[in-house]
């Protein structure tokens, strides 16, 4: 787990590789060629990159229209503006219309730390999880990012891909499946389960390593699909461990933790701790500072597991 990667790079490479093989792949963006890493795409396929300017609602509608014409649009923008600004377009034009538009939310969570809560994308998972017919995908590393791009281009409906800016190590084992509704078990353990997504996965692994030294065996589950959720893996964790900790780079109101909790509480209530941003607007600070501030770190996960087992 030494070398770390920017998933936007993996995203851009995979999208370009796909575009070379499939002329239906187009990119749509909002004055974000640089921040969406679409420079290479523009160079090779200038006619297949549509930059609508600073106009996110238009951008998503245009994506839906392109899909209507048989294209496979990857609509790329900073996650807070893509999801927040164009929420109704995502609901009506994309999900409800079953338009195969791939919404790519770049630099989510606390990636824009110092730029403030308007630029923190912590509500996107809650917002989009509430919309039917829209898979919500949070890749944990470059391998899953590439798999998500390939999967999204090949399936017949829309999807939301959350493409992180934090550098992360590779955590996905070779030959791990990448399918909707399928979690990946990264470590075994029956004392507690840590269910994490995106940037929190490598932190969960570090936490499990630390806990093992204390004799606590935590099962780490990587949940790349927030929707559809792997309910089987959640319920198995609920039945075979003493409790569940979830960790996500987003608000606790309605994201991964809420999805896991609602599954657990309906079928097999167990103790839970939900780690995330606790329903507040964050103070000013760097991305790293804010993750520390909210305990979204390996130590924070260790603490939560200890509390859970002590309760």
Ligand X SMILES: Cc1ncc(C[n+]2csc(CCOP(=O)(O)OP(=O)(O)O)c2C)c(N)n1
Query: Which stretches of the chain bind other proteins, using CB under 8 A?
Result: 31-35, 51-58, 80-81, 84-85, 112, 114-116, 118-119, 283-286, 289
Report, in Å, the least distance between residue 180 CB and other proteins: 31
Tally of CB atoms within 10 A around 267: 12
Report, in Å, the least distance between residue 29 CB and ligand X: 10
Strand order across the beta sheet in which 184-187 lies: 184-187, 218-222, 192-196, 244-251, 272-277
Backbone torsions φ then ψ of 168, nearest 5 degrees: -130, 150
DSSP state of 108: -
CB closer to other proteins out of 57 and 187: 57
Q: What is the dihedral of CA 107, 180, 14, 85, to 10 degrees?
A: -30
Report, in Å, the least distance between residue 134 CB and other proteins: 22
Instruction: Write the binding mask 11 to 50 for ligand X: x where contact by CB under 6 A, - elsewhere.
Output: -------------------xx-------------------
Element housing 50 (H / E): strand 49-51
The span from the CA of 237 to the CA of 49, in Å, is 44
The span from the CA of 138 to the CA of 234, in Å, is 17
CB closer to other proteins out of 121 and 171: 121
CB closer to ligand X out of 41 and 112: 112
4 binds, among other proteins, ligand X, none (CB under 5 to 8 A by kind): none
User: Residue 176 region, left (φ>0) first, then alpha (ψ -120 to 50), else beta?
Assistant: beta
**Applying CB under 6 A, does 88 fall inside the site for ligand X?**
no
CB closer to other proteins out of 116 and 173: 116
Rg of the Cα atoms in the chain:
19
User: Which one, of 290, 288, 302, lies nearest residue 194 by Cα?
Assistant: 302
Contacting ligand X (CB under 6 A), which of 1, 23, 54, 265? 54
Report, in Å, the least distance between residue 46 CB and other proteins: 12
Backbone torsions φ then ψ of 196, nearest 5 degrees: -135, 165
Report, in Å, the least distance between residue 281 CB and other proteins: 9
Contacting ligand X (CB under 6 A), which of 41, 81, 151, 160? 81
Q: How far apart are the first and last CA of the chain?
A: 32
CB closer to ligand X out of 31 and 209: 31
The span from the CA of 145 to the CA of 140, in Å, is 7
Residue with tokens 């198995």: 236
CB closer to ligand X out of 56 and 93: 56
Q: Which two tokens stand for residue 277?
A: 């941003």
**Applying CB under 6 A, does 85 fall inside the site for ligand X?**
yes
CB closer to ligand X out of 31 and 58: 31
CB closer to ligand X out of 53 and 278: 53
Q: Which two tokens stand for residue 74?
A: 């990857």
229 binds, among other proteins, ligand X, none (CB under 5 to 8 A by kind): none
170 binds, among ligand X, other proteins, none (CB under 5 to 8 A by kind): none
Report, in Å, the least distance between residue 79 CB and ligand X: 11
Size of the site for ligand X (CB under 6 A): 6
Tally: H helices and E strands in the chain: 12, 14
Residues in the chain, total: 311
58 binds, among other proteins, ligand X, none (CB under 5 to 8 A by kind): other proteins
Q: Which residues are near ligand X by CB under 6 A?
A: 30-31, 54, 56, 81, 85
């Amino acid at each position: 787990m030494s070398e770390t990667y920017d998933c936007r790079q993996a995203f851009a490479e995979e999208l370009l590789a796909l575009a070379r093989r499939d002329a239906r792949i187009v990119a749509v963006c909002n004055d974000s060629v640089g921040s969406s890493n679409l420079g290479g795409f523009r160079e090779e396929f200038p006619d297949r990159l549509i930059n609508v300017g600073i106009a996110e609602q238009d951008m998503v509608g245009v994506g839906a229209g392109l899909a209507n014409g048989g294209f496979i649009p990857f609509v790329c923008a900073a996650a807070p503006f893509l999801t927040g600004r164009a929420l109704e377009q995502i609901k009506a034009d994309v999900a409800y219309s079953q338009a195969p538009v791939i919404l790519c939310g770049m630099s989510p969570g606390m990636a824009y730390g110092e730029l403030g809560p308007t630029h923190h994308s912590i509500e996107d998972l809650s917002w989009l999880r509430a919309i039917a017919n829209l898979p919500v995908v949070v890749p944990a590393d470059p391998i899953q990012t590439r798999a998500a791009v390939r999967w999204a281009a090949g399936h017949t409906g829309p999807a939301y891909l959350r493409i992180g800016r934090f550098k992360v190590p590779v955590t996905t084992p070779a030959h791990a499946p990448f399918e909707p509704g399928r979690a990946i078990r990264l470590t075994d353990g029956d004392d507690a389960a840590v269910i994490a997504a995106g940037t929190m996965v490598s932190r969960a692994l570090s936490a499990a390593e630390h806990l093992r030294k204390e004799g606590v065996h935590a099962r780490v589950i990587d949940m790349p699909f927030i929707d559809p959720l792997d309910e089987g893996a959640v319920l198995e964790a609920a039945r075979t461990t003493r409790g569940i900790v979830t960790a996500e780079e987003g608000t606790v109101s309605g994201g991964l933790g809420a999805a896991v909790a609602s599954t657990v509480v309906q079928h097999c209530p167990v103790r839970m701790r939900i780690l995330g941003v606790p329903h507040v607007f964050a103070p000013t600070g760097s991305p790293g500072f804010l993750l520390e501030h909210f305990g979204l770190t390996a130590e924070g996960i260790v603490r939560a597991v200890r509390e859970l087992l002590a309760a």
